[in-house]
Amino acid sequence: MNILSENLGLLLQALGTTVMMTVVAGIGSLILGVLVTVARVSPIPILRAAAFCYVQFFINVPLLALLLLAVFALPDAGLIMPLTPTAIIVLTVYEAAYVAEAVRSGVNTVAVGQVEAGRALGLSLGQSMRLVVIPQALRAVVQPLGNVMIALAMNTALAAVVGVVELTSRVNKVNLVYAQPIEIFTAAGLVYMAIALAIGLAAGRVERKVAIVR
Amino acid sequence: MSRSPHYAASFLYEKPGPRGRRNILIGSVISALVLAAIVGLGLWQFGSHGQLDADKWLPFTEWAIWQYLFVGLGGTLLAAAIVAVLGSLFGAVLALGRLSRLRVLRWLSTGYIEVARTVPVLLLIYLMLFGLPQLGINFPTLWKLVIPLTIANAAVFAEIVRAGILSLPAGQSEAALSLGLRGGQAMRLVVLPQALRNVTPSLVSQLVSLLKDTSLGYIVAYTELLYRGQVLSAFNHLLIQTFLVVTLIYLVFNGSLSALASRLQRPGRRRAPIAVPLPVPGASVPHTEKETHA
C-alpha cells in the first residue's frame, strides 16, 4: 500500500484522465448513437443505408485497429490532432454504434398504437420521433445502455496502447519501477470495478426512475 | 403483425402520399449530397497528401502481401478458437455454478463473473506481459493473449448460457425429472441442448467480439492480423494503406459472421432459435432483438 500512497498524485491524475475520457466519450456516443438510430429508422433510404453501414462497420472492426489507424496512420494524410482528443473521438464513434444497436432494439419495443396515436393527434414524423418514439425507446434500454457505458469505461484502457497516460498505462509504469505486480494491478482492477459498479448502480437508479410500468 | 429486422421501422410511418413522397425525395437528395460531400472531402484530403497515388496501393495487388497478412489472420483464428473453446467450457461451468443449489458455488461463480466483467482485458495483458515475469512467471506469447481473453470471455459466455437456461420453460426440466432422470441428466440431456440452441445468435455475436479482442495480440507481439499489419507497415511505410487493408479484412470476416448471427436470429425457420430476453439488472448478456417474434 506504501507504493500506492507514494504515487497517489500521479495515479489520481491518471484516474482523472480515465474518468474524463469515459464521461466525454460516453455523452458523445449517446448523442451520436441516438442520431444514428434516428437515421436508421427514417423513411429516407440513403440515410437508412448509411446508418446501417456505420453500425456494421464499427461493430465488426476492432477498436485497437481504429485507434492505431487514427493515431499513427491518419497524420500521413494531414489529419492530426492532439493524442487524447483523438482517442476520445475514436472511442465516441466506436461506442456510438453499440448505443445505436441498443436504442434501435428499444425503438422496436415501442407499441404500434403509440405511433398511431401520435399520428392521429396530427404529429409530424419528426415530432412523433422526438416526442413519442425516442423517449420511450430510451427508457426501455437504460440497462443495456449502462452495459455499453461499462464497456466504454473498460475500452478507455486501450488508449494506453497508443500512448495516452490513463490509469492502465500509469499503473503499468509504476509497476515497472517498483516491481510489485500483484499489489499494484489488484488495486487498479478494484478501481475499474468501482467505476463499473458506479455506472451499473447509476443505470439501475435511472431505470427505476424512468421505467414505464406496463 | 410481424416485424422482421428489415422492416423494423415501417410501423413508424404510413405509406407516404404525394407530399410525403416529395419530402422523402428532397431528403434523399440532400442526404446524398451531404454524404457525397463528406466522402469527397475525405478523398480530397487523402489525395492532396498523395495517399491515393497508384504506387501506394499497387503493392496490395501482390499475392505475397496478402499471403503475409493471411498468416496473421491464421494466428487470429487460432487464438480465437482456443479462447472460444476454453471460454465456453469455463463459461458453461460458471453458468451451472451460478444456478447451483449450493450457496458456496453460487457465490463463487457470481463473484467471478462480476469481477471478470469489470476489469479491462488490457490490464490483465499488462499483468501477463510486465507484471508476472517480475515474479518469474513467464507464459509463451500465445498464452499471454489467450489467458486474459479466456478470463474475460468466460464470464460473458457464462451469462449467455445462463440466460438461455433461464429462458427455457420450467416444464422442460420438470418433465425430465418426472421421467426419472437425475438432476445432472436432466440438465445435460434436456435443458442444456435446448438452452444452447436458443442462444446460438448471442454466442455467434460474442464470437465476433472475441475475434475483435484478439487484436490485442498486437500488444504482446503475437503473430495475428493487426500485429502483422503493424510489421508490414513498418517495412513498406504505407501506414494508411496497410491499416485500411487490415481493417477491411476484419470487416469482411467479422461481417460474414455477424450476418450469420442475424440469419440465425430470423424467425420462421424450422427449430428457429429464440432471442435472449432482456438481461436482468447486473447481468451482461449482449442486448439482442427483443421482438423478433411479434
* Contact status of A168 with chain B (Cβ, < 8 Å): yes
Average pLDDT over residues A22-50: 94
Band the pLDDT of A214: cuts 50, 70, 90: low
Eight-class DSSP state of B61: G
pLDDT at B40 over 80: yes
Please report which confidence band the pLDDT of residue B183 belongs to, taking 50, 70 and 90 as the band edges: confident
- What confidence score (pLDDT) does residue B149 get? 95
Write out pLDDT tens, residues A99-147.
999 999 999 888 889 988 988 998 888 888 899 999 999 998 998 999 9
Q: Which three cell numbers stand for residue A22?
A: 469515459
Percentage of residues of chain A with pLDDT beyond 70: 99
Express as a percent the part of chain A with pLDDT over 90. Answer: 66
Q: What is the pLDDT of residue B1?
A: 40
Predicted-complex ipTM score: 0.88
Q: Cβ A147–B279 below 8 Å, yes or no? A: yes
Q: What is the mean pLDDT of residues B2-9?
A: 46
Mean pLDDT of chain B: 84
Neighbours of B37 (CB within 10 A): 10
| Portion 12-41 of A in contact with B at CB < 8 A | 40-41
Residue closest to B262 by CA, chosen among B205, B195, B210, B206 = B205
B224 pLDDT more than 50: yes
Best to test chain A binding among B52, B76, B118, B207 (most A CBs inside 10 Å): B118
Answer whether A189 touches B (CB < 8 Å): yes
pLDDT-wise least confident of B137-141, B144-148, B241-245? B137-141
Confidence of residue B33 (pLDDT cuts 50, 70, 90): very high
Helix (H) or strand (E) holding B239: helix B239-265
Report residue B292's pLDDT band, with 50, 70 and 90 as the boundaries: very low
Rounded percentage of chain B residues whose pLDDT exceeds 70:
87
Q: Which pLDDT does position B283 carry in this prediction?
A: 41
Q: What is the pLDDT of residue B267?
A: 59
Among A163, A157, A108, CA closest to A137: A108
Pairwise CB contact (< 8 Å): A154 & B121:
yes
Q: Do B216 and A64 touch (CB under 8 A)?
A: yes
Q: What is the pLDDT of residue A1?
A: 58
Contact call for A192 and B118, based on CB within 8 A? yes
The answer to whether the Cβ–Cβ distance between A185 and B127 falls below 8 Å is yes
What domains, with CATH codes, occur in chain B?
A: 83-217+261-265 (1.10.3720.10)
Residues 104-133 of A with CB under 8 A from B: 104-105, 107-109, 112, 115, 119, 125, 128-129, 133
The pLDDT, as a whole number, for residue A86 is 95
Q: State the pLDDT confidence band at A195, using cuts at 50, 70 and 90.
A: very high
Q: What is the pLDDT of residues B87-131, one digit of tens each?
A: 999 999 999 999 888 899 999 999 999 899 889 999 999 999 888
Helix H, strand E, coil C: the string for chain A is CHHHHHCHHHHHHHHHHHHHHHHHHHHHHHHHHHHHHHHHCCCCHHHHHHHHHHHHHHHHCCHHHHHHHHHHHHHHHCCCCCHHHHHHHHHHHHHHHHHHHHHHHHHHHCCHHHHHHHHHCCCCHHHHHHHHHHHHHHHHCHHHHHHHHHHHHHHHHHHHHHCCCCHHHHHHHHHHHHCCHHHHHHHHHHHHHHHHHHHHHHHHHHHHHHCCCC
The helices-and-strands tally (H runs, E runs) of chain B is: 13, 0
Q: Which residue of A has its CA nearest to B217?
A: A64
- pLDDT tens-digit map of A168-187: 999 988 988 888 888 888 99
Domain limits for position A198: 2-210
Q: Collapsing DSSP states into helix, strand and coil, what is residue B114?
A: helix
CA separation for the pair B253, B248 (Å, rounded): 8
R_g of chain B computed on alpha carbons: 24
Residue B7 confidence (pLDDT): 46
pLDDT higher than threshold 90 for residue A92: yes
Question: What pLDDT digit, counting tens, does each position of B262-286 carry?
Answer: 888 765 444 445 555 444 444 444 4
Can you give the CATH number for the domain in which A144 is found? 1.10.3720.10
Give the residue on B whose Cα is nearest the Cα of A155.
Answer: B120
Total domains in the fold of chain A: 1
| Helix or strand (DSSP H, E) at B174 | helix B170-178
Q: pTM to 2 decimals?
A: 0.86
Helix axes B141-167, B200-213, angle to 10 degrees: 160
